[in-house]
Chain A
Amino acid sequence: DAGITQSPRHKVTETGTPVTLRCHQTENHRYMYWYRQDPGHGLRLIHYSYGVKDTDKGEVSDGYSVSRSKTEDFLLTLESATSSQTSVYFCATTGESTDTQYFGPGTRLTVL
Protein backbone atom coordinates (compact mmCIF):
# COMPACT_ATOMS: atom_id res chain seq x y z
CA ASP A 1 0.00 0.00 0.00
CA ALA A 2 1.06 3.56 -0.71
CA GLY A 3 1.94 4.78 2.76
CA ILE A 4 -1.47 6.22 3.58
CA THR A 5 -2.58 6.71 7.13
CA GLN A 6 -5.86 8.00 8.47
CA SER A 7 -6.63 9.45 11.86
CA PRO A 8 -8.52 8.83 13.95
CA ARG A 9 -9.36 5.24 13.04
CA HIS A 10 -12.52 5.29 15.13
CA LYS A 11 -14.58 8.17 16.43
CA VAL A 12 -17.89 8.54 18.20
CA THR A 13 -19.35 12.01 18.34
CA GLU A 14 -22.63 13.75 18.95
CA THR A 15 -24.97 15.42 16.50
CA GLY A 16 -24.07 19.03 15.89
CA THR A 17 -20.39 18.81 16.75
CA PRO A 18 -17.64 19.54 14.21
CA VAL A 19 -15.39 16.64 13.21
CA THR A 20 -12.15 16.61 11.25
CA LEU A 21 -10.64 13.50 9.72
CA ARG A 22 -7.05 13.49 8.54
CA CYS A 23 -5.41 11.64 5.68
CA HIS A 24 -1.63 11.58 5.41
CA GLN A 25 0.39 10.13 2.52
CA THR A 26 4.11 9.67 2.04
CA GLU A 27 4.13 8.94 -1.72
CA ASN A 28 3.96 12.52 -2.98
CA HIS A 29 0.85 11.63 -4.97
CA ARG A 30 -0.87 14.55 -6.62
CA TYR A 31 -4.48 13.38 -6.34
CA MET A 32 -6.24 12.67 -3.05
CA TYR A 33 -9.82 11.60 -2.44
CA TRP A 34 -12.32 11.20 0.34
CA TYR A 35 -15.00 8.51 0.02
CA ARG A 36 -17.70 7.29 2.29
CA GLN A 37 -18.79 3.67 2.29
CA ASP A 38 -22.27 2.61 3.29
CA PRO A 39 -24.00 -0.76 2.81
CA GLY A 40 -25.54 -1.06 -0.64
CA HIS A 41 -23.86 2.09 -1.94
CA GLY A 42 -20.29 1.08 -2.47
CA LEU A 43 -17.79 3.92 -2.40
CA ARG A 44 -19.16 7.40 -2.98
CA LEU A 45 -16.85 10.31 -3.65
CA ILE A 46 -17.19 13.22 -1.24
CA HIS A 47 -14.41 15.58 -2.35
CA TYR A 48 -11.12 15.27 -4.12
CA SER A 49 -7.96 17.29 -4.58
CA TYR A 50 -5.76 17.62 -7.64
CA GLY A 51 -3.05 19.65 -5.94
CA VAL A 52 -2.25 21.84 -2.98
CA LYS A 53 -5.19 24.17 -2.39
CA ASP A 54 -6.99 22.69 -5.44
CA THR A 55 -10.12 20.79 -4.49
CA ASP A 56 -13.45 19.92 -6.04
CA LYS A 57 -16.74 18.37 -5.05
CA GLY A 58 -17.76 14.78 -5.55
CA GLU A 59 -21.24 13.29 -5.71
CA VAL A 60 -22.06 13.52 -1.98
CA SER A 61 -20.34 16.74 -0.85
CA ASP A 62 -23.18 18.39 1.07
CA GLY A 63 -22.26 18.84 4.74
CA TYR A 64 -18.55 18.28 4.11
CA SER A 65 -15.60 20.53 3.43
CA VAL A 66 -11.96 19.76 2.70
CA SER A 67 -8.61 21.43 2.81
CA ARG A 68 -5.19 20.60 1.43
CA SER A 69 -2.43 22.94 2.54
CA LYS A 70 0.38 20.42 1.95
CA THR A 71 0.83 17.67 -0.61
CA GLU A 72 0.84 14.99 2.05
CA ASP A 73 -2.25 16.00 4.04
CA PHE A 74 -5.92 16.09 3.07
CA LEU A 75 -8.44 17.01 5.74
CA LEU A 76 -12.15 16.26 5.70
CA THR A 77 -14.37 18.35 7.98
CA LEU A 78 -17.95 17.76 8.95
CA GLU A 79 -19.03 21.22 10.01
CA SER A 80 -21.96 20.00 12.11
CA ALA A 81 -22.18 16.23 12.21
CA THR A 82 -25.52 14.51 11.62
CA SER A 83 -26.55 10.90 12.15
CA SER A 84 -26.72 10.42 8.36
CA GLN A 85 -22.96 10.97 8.29
CA THR A 86 -22.36 7.83 10.30
CA SER A 87 -20.21 5.85 7.91
CA VAL A 88 -16.79 4.46 7.13
CA TYR A 89 -14.61 7.08 5.50
CA PHE A 90 -11.76 6.14 3.20
CA CYS A 91 -9.00 8.32 1.88
CA ALA A 92 -7.32 7.38 -1.37
CA THR A 93 -4.48 8.72 -3.50
CA THR A 94 -3.25 8.35 -7.03
CA GLY A 95 -0.17 9.55 -8.80
CA GLU A 96 0.35 11.40 -12.08
CA SER A 97 1.15 8.40 -14.28
CA THR A 98 -1.56 6.02 -13.15
CA ASP A 99 -5.29 5.87 -12.50
CA THR A 100 -4.88 3.24 -9.80
CA GLN A 101 -6.11 4.42 -6.43
CA TYR A 102 -4.46 3.42 -3.16
CA PHE A 103 -6.67 3.42 -0.12
CA GLY A 104 -6.01 4.19 3.50
CA PRO A 105 -7.24 1.89 6.30
CA GLY A 106 -10.45 3.87 6.86
CA THR A 107 -12.07 5.77 9.71
CA ARG A 108 -15.24 4.49 11.28
CA LEU A 109 -17.34 7.47 12.37
CA THR A 110 -20.45 7.16 14.50
CA VAL A 111 -22.66 10.20 15.05
CA LEU A 112 -25.10 9.78 17.93
Chain B
Amino acid sequence: GQQVMQIPQYQHVQEGEDFTTYCNSSTTLSNIQWYKQRPGGHPVFLIQLVKSGEVKKQKRLTFQFGEAKKNSSLHITATQTTDVGTYFCAGGDYKLSFGAGTTVTVRA
Protein backbone atom coordinates (compact mmCIF):
# COMPACT_ATOMS: atom_id res chain seq x y z
CA GLY B 1 0.00 0.00 0.00
CA GLN B 2 0.83 3.63 -0.09
CA GLN B 3 3.61 4.71 2.26
CA VAL B 4 4.50 8.24 3.18
CA MET B 5 7.83 8.98 4.79
CA GLN B 6 8.98 12.17 6.43
CA ILE B 7 12.44 13.43 7.29
CA PRO B 8 13.85 14.51 9.58
CA GLN B 9 11.98 13.01 12.53
CA TYR B 10 13.24 15.80 14.80
CA GLN B 11 14.30 19.33 13.97
CA HIS B 12 15.93 21.53 16.59
CA VAL B 13 16.06 25.10 15.35
CA GLN B 14 17.50 28.32 16.67
CA GLU B 15 14.87 31.04 16.77
CA GLY B 16 15.15 33.12 13.62
CA GLU B 17 16.67 30.36 11.49
CA ASP B 18 15.06 28.63 8.54
CA PHE B 19 14.43 24.91 8.10
CA THR B 20 12.80 22.46 5.73
CA THR B 21 11.00 19.19 6.31
CA TYR B 22 10.50 16.67 3.53
CA CYS B 23 7.81 14.17 2.65
CA ASN B 24 8.20 11.30 0.19
CA SER B 25 5.66 8.81 -1.10
CA SER B 26 6.20 5.38 -2.59
CA THR B 27 3.41 6.10 -5.08
CA THR B 28 2.07 9.05 -7.00
CA LEU B 29 -0.30 11.10 -4.89
CA SER B 30 -3.52 12.75 -6.01
CA ASN B 31 -2.85 15.46 -3.46
CA ILE B 32 -0.75 16.15 -0.38
CA GLN B 33 -1.96 17.73 2.84
CA TRP B 34 -0.02 19.19 5.73
CA TYR B 35 -1.15 19.24 9.34
CA LYS B 36 0.33 20.75 12.48
CA GLN B 37 -0.05 19.34 15.97
CA ARG B 38 0.92 21.51 18.92
CA PRO B 39 2.22 19.70 22.02
CA GLY B 40 -0.71 18.11 23.83
CA GLY B 41 -3.09 19.03 21.01
CA HIS B 42 -4.68 17.46 17.99
CA PRO B 43 -3.64 17.68 14.33
CA VAL B 44 -4.93 20.76 12.57
CA PHE B 45 -5.12 21.13 8.80
CA LEU B 46 -2.70 23.64 7.29
CA ILE B 47 -2.90 23.28 3.52
CA GLN B 48 -3.59 21.03 0.55
CA LEU B 49 -1.57 20.86 -2.67
CA VAL B 50 -3.09 19.28 -5.74
CA LYS B 51 -1.16 20.27 -8.85
CA SER B 52 2.23 19.05 -9.98
CA GLY B 53 4.90 21.60 -8.99
CA GLU B 54 2.44 23.64 -6.95
CA VAL B 55 3.82 26.12 -4.44
CA LYS B 56 1.71 27.79 -1.76
CA LYS B 57 2.67 30.21 0.96
CA GLN B 58 1.17 30.96 4.34
CA LYS B 59 3.09 33.84 5.87
CA ARG B 60 6.48 32.31 6.78
CA LEU B 61 5.52 28.80 5.62
CA THR B 62 6.14 27.67 2.03
CA PHE B 63 4.70 24.39 0.82
CA GLN B 64 5.76 22.68 -2.38
CA PHE B 65 4.44 19.65 -4.29
CA GLY B 66 6.95 17.85 -6.49
CA GLU B 67 6.69 17.66 -10.25
CA ALA B 68 6.13 13.89 -10.10
CA LYS B 69 3.59 14.29 -7.26
CA LYS B 70 5.57 11.87 -5.10
CA ASN B 71 7.20 14.34 -2.75
CA SER B 72 6.53 17.54 -0.91
CA SER B 73 8.33 19.96 1.34
CA LEU B 74 7.52 22.51 4.01
CA HIS B 75 9.96 25.38 4.45
CA ILE B 76 9.68 27.71 7.44
CA THR B 77 11.60 30.97 7.44
CA ALA B 78 12.60 32.96 10.53
CA THR B 79 11.40 30.29 12.93
CA GLN B 80 9.46 31.51 15.94
CA THR B 81 8.51 29.82 19.20
CA THR B 82 4.95 29.58 17.86
CA ASP B 83 6.23 27.13 15.24
CA VAL B 84 6.86 24.48 17.89
CA GLY B 85 4.96 21.26 17.24
CA THR B 86 4.83 18.25 14.96
CA TYR B 87 4.20 18.70 11.26
CA PHE B 88 2.61 15.84 9.37
CA CYS B 89 2.20 15.34 5.68
CA ALA B 90 -0.56 13.08 4.41
CA GLY B 91 -1.39 11.74 0.99
CA GLY B 92 -4.52 10.25 -0.48
CA ASP B 93 -8.13 11.17 -0.87
CA TYR B 94 -10.84 10.23 1.62
CA LYS B 95 -8.40 7.76 3.24
CA LEU B 96 -5.13 9.48 4.10
CA SER B 97 -1.74 7.95 4.73
CA PHE B 98 0.17 10.04 7.24
CA GLY B 99 3.89 10.40 7.55
CA ALA B 100 5.46 9.89 10.98
CA GLY B 101 5.88 13.64 11.38
CA THR B 102 8.69 16.10 12.02
CA THR B 103 8.79 17.36 15.60
CA VAL B 104 10.14 20.89 15.80
CA THR B 105 11.66 22.47 18.88
CA VAL B 106 12.91 26.04 18.98
CA ARG B 107 15.82 27.46 20.98
CA ALA B 108 15.17 31.02 22.00
**Residues in chain A within 8 A of chain B (CB atoms):** 1, 31, 33, 35, 40-45, 48, 50, 58-59, 90, 92, 94, 99-106
Contacts and interface: CB of A to CB of B under 8 A. Distances in A.
Nearest to B96: A101
Given A42-B88, A99-B48, A90 B94 contact: no
B95 A48 contact: yes
Interface of B: 1, 6, 9, 31, 33, 35, 41-45, 48, 88, 90, 92-101
A99 B96 contact: yes
- Name A's interface SS: strand
A9 to B, nearest CB: 11
Given A42-B88, A90-B42, A104-B42, 15 more contacts: A42-B98, A43-B43, A44-B98, A45-B96, A48-B95, A50-B94, A58-B95, A59-B1, A92-B43, A99-B93, A100-B33, A101-B45, A101-B90, A102-B45, A103-B44
